[in-house]
Structure 1
Amino acid sequence: MKKFLFALTGLLLMTLSVQAQRPDLPGALIVDIGINNWSSAPENVSLNSIQSKSVNLTYYYDFPIGNKGFTFTPGIGLGLEKYSLQNNFTLTTSINNAGERSIATANINNIVDDGFSFGKSKVAMNYVDLPLEFRWYASGNRYNTGFRAALGAKVGVLYSSFTKFRYEDTAGDDNLVKTRQNLGLNRFRYGVQGRVGFGGFSVFGFYELSDKWDIAPTDGENTRTFTFGISLTGF
C-alpha cells in the first residue's frame, strides 16, 4: 500500500507540473495527505502527530448549481488513517467471562517478554468514505483552473483496523507484531470538512463529530480526530 500511495502521489505531482491544465474528463480524483491529532486522547496515549497521517483517495463529481460557479459535489473513496503512539504504548482488546469486550492501553514492555528495545507503535483504521461538498469556483464552470473553496461533510464505514509495533529482542533480532483485531471502534464515522485552493492544489481540514470508540479505553469516551493537510487533484 505504501508503494502504491507513493507512486500515485508522484504521478499526480508530475501531472500537475507538466500540464498547464488537466484533461477535460468527468469528475476528479483528489488525494488528501494530512496530519492527524485527537481532541481528547485515551489514558497513557500521546500521539506523534507528524507520524500520524491520513491519506484519502476520493473520486468527486461536480453538479452545477446555477451559472455562478457553485456546485454540489458528492464523492466516494477510501480514508486510510494511522496514529503513531509514543512511550511504548499500544491498544489491546479482551473479552471477560460474560462475553463483554473491553479496550485498554498497554505498555509493550508488559506484552513482550523478551523485548530489549522498542520502535514505532501504530494504530491503523481504514474507511470507505462518502463525502458531500458544496463548492465555489471563481472561474465559473472551468473547474480545473482558478481559485476554489468547498465546505461539506463526510460519512464513513470502518472496514479494517489493526495495531503494529516493532521491538528488538534479547537475541538482537528485529520483530514486527501486526495484529488485526476488534478495537471497539465506532463502525460509522461522520464529520465536517472544508478546503481552499488554486488549480490542482488545495489545503483541507476535517473534524470528526462522531466519537472514535464505541467501546472506549479509559478517557477515550470523547476522542475525535481532526486532520489538516494538502490536496492534489489528479484529473
Structure 2
Amino acid sequence: MKKFAFAVVALVLLGNIAKAQRPDLPGALIIDLGVNTWSSAPDNIALNNFQSKTVNITYFYDLPLGNSKFTFTPGIGLGLEKFSFEDNYTLSSEINNGALEVTAEQLSQPDVFEYGKSKLGANYLDIPLEFRFYSRKNQYSRGFRAAIGGKVGVLYSSFTKFKYEDSLGDNHMVKNRANYGLNRFRYGVQARVGFGGFSLFGYYELSDKFETPPAGGEDTNNLTFGIALTGF
C-alpha cells in the first residue's frame, strides 16, 4: 500500500507538471489517500489505524447547476481498503450446517517464530454523487472548493493476508481470498474541502461492514479521512 500510494502521488505531480502541455480533459481524476477506523470493532479485533488505509481512484464529471457556482458531480471509481489487525488476529470463515460462520481467531502455530502484519482487504467498485461549490465557477481547478454527497459501492474482491517468520528464520506470506462475511453492498456519506488540486476528505459508511459478522461485529461501520489530490 505504501509503494502504491507513493506511486500515485508521483503520477499526480507529474500530471500537474505536464498539464500546460496537453489539452484540458473533461472531468477530473481524484486520488483519495486516507486512514480507516471502525465505529465498533468485532470482539478481539483492534485496528492499527495508521496502517489501516484506503486509496480511492475516482473519475468525476462536473455538471453546472445553471449559472451558479454549484455543480452536481457524479463519478465512478475504485475503493481499495486495508485493515491492519493488532495482536496477531485474523478473520476465518467456514460453512457450518449450510450457513456461513465468521470468527476472529489468533494466529498460533508451533513452527512459527514470529508473526508480522495481519490485514483484511476489501476492494469496491464505487459510484459517488456530490454537490460541489467552486469559488471560481469557470476555473474548477483553482480557488476554494467544497463538496458534500455520498457514494454506493459493490464489493468485488476481499482477502486476508499475514506474514510470519518460521523457526528456521525464513519469511513467509499467506494470502487467502474469501468473503469473510463482508456486506456485498455499501453506502455512506462523504465530504471534501480544499483549494486548487488539494483537499481534505471524510467518508462515513452508513451500511454495516459485515452482512455475516464475527462476534461483536454487528454494528461495525467504517470511517475514513485523509487527503485528496486532483490529477487533471
> TM-score, normalization: structure 2?
0.95
Q: Secondary structure at the match of 1:183?
A: coil
Q: Is 1:104 the counterpart of 2:103 in the alignment?
A: yes
Q: Is the 8 A contact 1:80 1:125 kept in 2?
A: yes
The answer on 1:230 being equivalent to 2:227 is yes
Percent identical residues: 62
1:52 aligns with 2:52: yes
Please give the alpha-carbon distance, in whole angstroms, between the structure 1 residues aligned to 2:99 and 2:45.
Answer: 23
1:1-235 paired onto structure 2 within 5 Å: 5-16=5-16, 24-96=24-96, 98-109=97-108, 112-235=109-232
Q: Runs of 4 or more off by more than 3 Å in structure 1?
A: 1-6, 14-23
Q: When the two structures are aligned, how many residues end up with a matched partner? A: 232
> Is residue 5–residue 33 contact of structure 2 (8 Å, CA) maintained in 1?
no
* Runs of 5+ unmatched residues, structure 2: none
User: What is the one-letter code of the residue matched to 2:197?
Assistant: G
- Structure 1 unaligned runs (5+)? none
Q: Which digits, 9 at most, give the CA deviation of each residue in 1:113-154, with x for residues without a partner?
A: 411111000000000000000000001131111000000000
Report the Cα distance in structure 2 between the residues aligned to 1:168 and 1:65, rounded to whole angstroms. Answer: 58
Contact 2:40 2:217 in 1 (8 A): yes
After superposition, give the CA deviation of every residue in 1:7-52 in whole Å (9 maximum; x if it has no partner): 3320202334676899522000000000000000000011000000
TM-score, reference length from structure 1: 0.94
Coordinate RMSD, CA, aligned: 1.8
1:172, distance to aligned residue in structure 2 (A): 1.6
SS at match of 1:172: coil
